[in-house]
Amino acid sequence: MPKYVGSTDSPTRAPVAAKSWAEQPVTIVAQGLSKYFKHTGRLIKAVDEANFTFTEGQFITITGPSGSGKSTLLYILSGLDKATKGELQVDGVDVRRLSGRKENRLRRQRMGFVFQSFHLLPTLTALENVMLPVQLLGGKSPEEMRERARVLLFQFGINEDRHSHRPGKLSGGQQQRVAIARALANDPRVILADEPTGNLDTFNGKRIVELLKKLSEQGKTVIVVTHDRSIARVADVRLEMEDGRIRGMGNYVAPTRPPTLARKKKGKKK
């Protein structure tokens, strides 16, 4: 499979980051990746002919309007959704040819998930939530699992007095930090985040973005689906989707809109 580092199916934007990332080990390669389904007799192209290559340490954002196919693409990358056609390799593994059991194993070992609504298990404490992926993977003693979870929670600013709290007793920001700690519990190579700041205030959202960015700097491939421009601004690679197709791919470019128009629009929104 050819490498499409920084490439795009839309030539309107110049491929970027190819130079800086070309030497990095490749973690995700997609070629002609598509997801089609029929709805009331009409063929819907949720993802259409997506081609890209992501490398270790990249912070990637997938943006686009609602229904553009960005979440579907994320779920295909994680193996939670099956592509209709195309090739997909994650960490050297051909995801499309994996059995359900091996797919689960791939997710357990090499992927970490962060969701908009956190999706922490309400009956478990913060510490137990972080221990969960390690338990699912197996091979570690309860004490090792506990220690790993404790270290991660500390790392993400969750003090010990909160470790025994259930998610309902934590703030949104704390819950999302616990969720990120859970995503990292098995030290995955890829972090997949679906609108991770969608339910957070600006301050906590910014904090989460900083954390995710830091993780990419530590060598993780971080893929974030978002509407939040502030996240896209710090991305190494930005995928812009529309009607299932990747319309743009490259470094973040600030909108070049006359300030007056921008102000007017802002005022309108109010």
Partner 1 sequence: MRRSDTASTLKTGTIQTPDGRSISIPPTVNGISTGAAHFTLAGGSTPTLVAGRTFQASDATSYVAMMSQTLAENNSLTVGSTFTLKGKTFTIIGLYTTDQEFANNSLVVPLATMQSVFSLSGVDSITVYAQSYEQVDALAARLRNTLGKAYDVVTEASTYANTINGLNTAQNSIKLALIVAIVTATLVIIFAVFITVRERTIEIGTLKAIGASHWQVIRQFWGEVLAISVVAALIAVGLLATLGPVISNAFNVSTPTNTTTTPGRFGGGPFGAGRALFASPVANLNVHLSSATLNAQALLIIVGLGMGLAVLTSAIPAWYVARIKPAEVLRRG
Residues of the shown chain interacting with partner 1 in the complex, contacts defined by CB under 8 A? 71-72, 75, 78, 80-81, 100-101, 104-109, 111-113, 115, 117, 119, 121-122, 132-133, 136-137, 182-183, 194
Minimum CB distance to partner 1 smaller for 166 or for 233: 166
Q: Which is nearer to partner 1, 24 or 109 (CB)?
A: 109
**Phi, psi (deg, nearest 5) at residue 87:** -115, 145
Contact 36, 46 (CB under 8 A): yes
Q: Which is nearer to partner 1, 195 or 236 (CB)?
A: 195
Give least dist CB 88 to partner 1, A: 15
* Cα–Cα distance for residue pair 129/125, rounded to 1 Å: 6
Question: What is the C-alpha separation between 227 and 248, in angstroms, rounded?
Answer: 15
Report the residue number, 8 or 186, with the smaller CB distance to partner 1: 186
- Quote the least distance from Cβ 54 to partner 1, whole Å: 20
- Look up tokens 């309860």; give the residue: 142
Strands 111-115 and 190-194: parallel
Report CA-CA distances (Å) from 252 to 8, 102, 154, 229, 233.
14, 35, 32, 9, 5
Q: Buried (b) or exposed (e) across 251-266, using 16+ Cβ within 10 A?
A: bbeeeeeeeeeeeeee
DSSP 47-92: EEEEEEEEETT-EEEEE-STTSSHHHHHHHHHTSS--SEEEEEETT
Beta bridge partners of 63: 240
**Which residues, in sequence order, are bridge partners of residue 80?**
none
Min dist CB 133 to partner 1, Å, is: 5
Considering the complex, what minimum distance in angstroms separates the CB of residue 181 from partner 1?
12
3-state secondary structure of 11: coil
Q: Which is nearer to partner 1, 5 or 241 (CB)?
A: 241
Q: Which of 73, 69, 70 is nearest to 83 (CA)?
A: 73
Three-state DSSP class for 239?
A: strand
**Residue with smaller CB distance to partner 1, 136 or 151:** 136
Q: Which is nearer to partner 1, 56 or 81 (CB)?
A: 81
In the complex with partner 1, the residue whose CB is nearer, 5 or 95, is 95
